[in-house]
């Protein structure tokens, strides 16, 4: 048996890159797939049904079942329609993969409010809205006496977890998605829903201009191929992962690891209010005893 036989999966931003790889990988493991993609450019402009339709045809060509959806993940009505499309066409929804995103990189001093809002809108609101609709569906199923074995997999980023200059908008959204996932996991456990997030590293339309994969040598393992990301996402979206929730995973090439959430470092308790003049030496000592900031990419 394939690990997603009988499951219905909705993947957002699935027309290209990592999302496309997710959709194909889920189909290969037996899932019926709703391929959502607005068909826009990297900066979020434009719209086309072509990318989603092409992925659907690929899935059908390999003997799988899929439908296309062109709704905007950051539109409330669109989020409802894409979840309802899964239910209407395939009878239910088991797994939601929030993958859609855009880039509008700029250093903070030069970033316009429009560039900030656009990235937060697509990434953060575009994760919240489909998740909310799916959560309501699974909550109602529970109230009706049904048992769910449901999954949400969100897409964070090393930029949000470790920081990358020029991406305060993107990093803030991706950090928010990681926290969103941890909280949603606690809230939705009662309905039989797990929630996890990934921080992927792969070559896509968004990362190739930044140099991702530029050092690839033909005939060697392609460390930055988007197809490397999908096995973990498929497993997290499968019947096998019910015991794993509230986690953030880092995945790139052949590496899979856990990214710990905010954790408490060294601390001091005076048992009374501090005076500002006292804190210089205290903070210096705390910083010296804390772990240094993590690099953006893992070091072998």
Catalytic residue among 170, 175, 181, 191: 170
Task: Examine the residue annotation and report whether 157 is marked as an active-site residue of this protein.
Answer: yes
Catalytic residue among 157, 159, 175, 181: 157
What whole-number distance in Å separates Cα of residue 177 and Cα of residue 163? 14
**What separation in angstroms does the CA of 173 have from each of 22, 122, 180?**
21, 9, 10
Catalytic residue among 156, 174, 191, 238: 174
Question: Counting beta carbons within 10 angstroms of the beta carbon of residue 122, is it exposed (0 to 12), middle (13 to 18) or buried (19 or more)?
Answer: buried
* SS3 assignment for the chain: CCCCCCCEEEECCCCCHHHHHHHHHHHHCCCEEEEECCCCCCCCCCCCCHHHHHHHHHHHHCCCCEEEECCCCCCHHHHHHHHHHHHHHHCCCCEEEECCCCCCCECHHHCCHHHHHHHHHHHHHHHHHHHHHHHHHHHHHHHCCCCCCEEEEEECCHHHHCCCCCEHHHHHHHHHHHHHHHHHHHHHHHHCEEEEEEEEECCCCCCHHHCCCCCCCCCCCCCCCHHHCHHHHHHHCCCCCCCCCCCEEEEECCEEEEECCCCCCCCCCCCCCCCHHHHHHHHHHHHHHCCCCCCCCCCC
Question: Counting beta carbons within 10 angstroms of the beta carbon of residue 219, is it exposed (0 to 12), middle (13 to 18) or buried (19 or more)?
Answer: exposed
What whole-number distance in Å separates Cα of residue 4 and Cα of residue 18? 19
Residues that are catalytic: 157, 170, 174
């Amino acid at each position: 048996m394939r690990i997603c036989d009988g499951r219905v999966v909705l993947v957002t931003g699935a027309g290209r890159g990592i999302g496309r790889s997710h959709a194909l990988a889920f189909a290969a493991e037996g899932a019926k797939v709703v391929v959502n993609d607005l068909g826009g450019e990297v900066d979020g402009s434009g719209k086309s049904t072509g990318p989603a339709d092409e992925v659907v045809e690929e899935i059908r060509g390999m003997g799988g079942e899929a439908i296309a959806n062109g709704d905007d993940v950051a539109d409330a009505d669109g989020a409802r329609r894409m979840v309802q499309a899964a239910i209407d066409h395939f009878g239910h929804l088991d797994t939601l993969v929030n993958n859609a995103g855009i880039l509008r990189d700029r250093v903070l001093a030069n970033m316009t409010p429009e560039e900030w809002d656009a990235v937060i809108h697509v990434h953060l609101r575009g994760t919240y809205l489909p998740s909310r609709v799916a959560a309501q569906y699974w909550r109602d199923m529970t109230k009706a006496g049904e048992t769910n074995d449901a999954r949400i997999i969100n897409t964070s980023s090393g930029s949000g977890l470790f920081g990358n200059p020029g991406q305060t908008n993107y990093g803030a959204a991706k950090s928010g998605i990681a926290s969103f996932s941890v909280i949603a996991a606690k809230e939705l456990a009662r309905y039989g829903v797990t929630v996890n997030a990934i921080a992927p590293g792969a070559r896509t339309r968004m990362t190739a201009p930044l140099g991702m994969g530029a050092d690839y040598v033909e005939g060697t393992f392609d460390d930055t191929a988007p197809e490397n990301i999908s096995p973990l996402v498929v497993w997290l979206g499968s019947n096998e992962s019910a015991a794993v929730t509230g986690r953030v995973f880092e995945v790139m090439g052949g590496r899979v690891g856990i990214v710990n959430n905010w954790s408490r470092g060294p601390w001091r308790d005076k048992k009374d209010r501090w005076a500002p003049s006292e804190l210089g030496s205290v903070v210096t000592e705390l910083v010296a005893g804390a772990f240094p900031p993590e690099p953006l990419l893992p070091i072998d």
